[in-house]
Amino acid sequence: MKAFNQNGIAMTHSPLNQILFGPPGTGKTFHTTEAAVKAADPAFYGQLNINPAVGADTEQRQALTKKYKALSEAGRIRFVTFHQSYGYEEFVEGLKAETTEDNQISYKVSDGIFKSIANAASVSELSPSVDRGDSTPLPAQSHVEQHNHVLVIDEINRGNISKIFGELITLIEESKRAGNNEEIALTLPYSGKTFSVPNNLYIIGTMNTADRSLAMMDTALRRRFDFKEMMPKPELFNNRTVKGIDLTRLLETLNKRIEVLYDREHMLGHAFLFPVFNEADEDNAFIKLKDAFKNKIIPLLEEYFYEDWNKIRLVLGDNQKEQSAGRDYTFIQAHSDSFDALFGHNHGLETYEDSKVTYKLKDFDDAVWSQPEAYVAIYSKSE
């Protein structure tokens, strides 16, 4: 049975382990703020009365950001980014070299971010006699108020999951957590302490599908996390026009072409054009649109298609744009070179064609980048 808040909006509990995944620019990191606050302080989140169908408004977003900062400062939300060289020693525990007073080297077990926040989360569930492997003894007290804790792992797919999690990949399962029917406690390799994961520790990961295909994700990770897909939402622009350019139709058309030429995991997120949408002044909004194409969209398309300019040209609709005297709205210039002209008649090249078409992106100071019609033509000819 679902619970409802005072406005009749259904409220759902946060999963213990979840991953927000999608193409770049879909607001994954942005939405971790809301997800983290919801998990760490569900009572506060419920008071905001955020409609899940619409999302947080400006005032609610400010309240979430302020609460996220407060919870982070209190140590109840921790943030880490995975990368290829990140390992078990930084995440769980490892040996740290220290120099003694007589200049001798000694090694001390150092807690990683996961072990630290797990110990902090478990304090309220333990009696003073239980040793969790924490360096600080548990104070003698009859009751400690329980709080939820959240670990946010950005770019979780960039790390070597087996190397980083080790035996914890089993411990984070809901049924295997402390106090549950199938609770598992393991002995950590460096400290030799017994360790298990408490029920009030939530793990939120983000994953950019353009960096690594979801199909390639570690199977063990897929089984233990709830995956929440976050795709581009051109409808958020509500067909707003800037210099006659419909932002919704523009992003929709670009993504339809990318999906056909590549796949849906490499589409463009709405965040690329949100600075344009949020700018009230139309002249400034158009400047931000040009900057988005020059500094973000075009470079990303180059990366996606390995500088295959013909495909990039198709994404931008240059092949459908009308060209006449004084009217050229193409962003990529095509040039045909005759093999005979380049190498002579006896070049000996076995080719099926007499010429080679090459493509070159026009300089960013070219007039085409400042012509709104060039952007309108990206989608107008394909409909």
Q: Which residue has the higher pLDDT, 284 or 333?
A: 284
- Please determine, for residue 135, whether its predicted confidence score (pLDDT) is greater than 70: no
Indicate where the chain has its CATH 3.40.50 domain(s).
Answer: 1-231
pLDDT at 66: 96
Q: Which residue has the higher pLDDT, 36 or 138?
A: 36
Q: Which residue has the higher pLDDT, 18 or 325?
A: 18
CA distance 359 to 215: 33
In SS3 terms, the chain reads as CCEECCCCCEECCCCCEEEEEECCCCCHHHHHHHHHHHHHCHHHHHHHCCCCCCCCCHHHHHHHHHHHHHHHHCCCEEEEECCCCCCHHHHCEEEEEEECCCCCEEEEEEECHHHHHHHHHHHHHCCCCCCCCCCCCCCCCCCCCCCCEEEEEECHHHCCHHHHHCCHHHHCCHHHCCCCCCCCCEECCCCCCEECCCCCEEEEEEEECCCCCHHHCCHHHHHHCEEEECCCCHHHHCCCEECCEEHHHHHHHHHHHHHHHCCHHHCCCHHHCHHHHHCCCHHHHHHHHHHHHHHHHHHHHHHHCCCCHHHHHHHCCHHHCCEECCEECCCEEEEEEEHHHHHCCCCCCCCCCCEEEEEEECCCCCHHHHCHHHHHHHHHCCC
Overall average pLDDT of the 299-328 stretch: 86
At residue 218 the predicted structure's pLDDT band, cuts being 50, 70 and 90, is: low
pLDDT at 328: 86
For the entire predicted model, the pTM comes to 0.81
Overall average pLDDT of the 188-192 stretch: 91
**Percent of the chain beyond pLDDT 70?**
80
Mean pLDDT of the chain: 84
- Please determine, for residue 198, whether its predicted confidence score (pLDDT) is greater than 90: yes
- Please determine, for residue 361, whether its predicted confidence score (pLDDT) is greater than 80: yes
- Please determine, for residue 331, whether its predicted confidence score (pLDDT) is greater than 60: yes
Fold annotation for 1-231: Rossmann fold (3.40.50)
* Least confident piece of the model among 124-138, 176-190, 288-302: 124-138
- Please determine, for residue 212, whether its predicted confidence score (pLDDT) is greater than 90: no
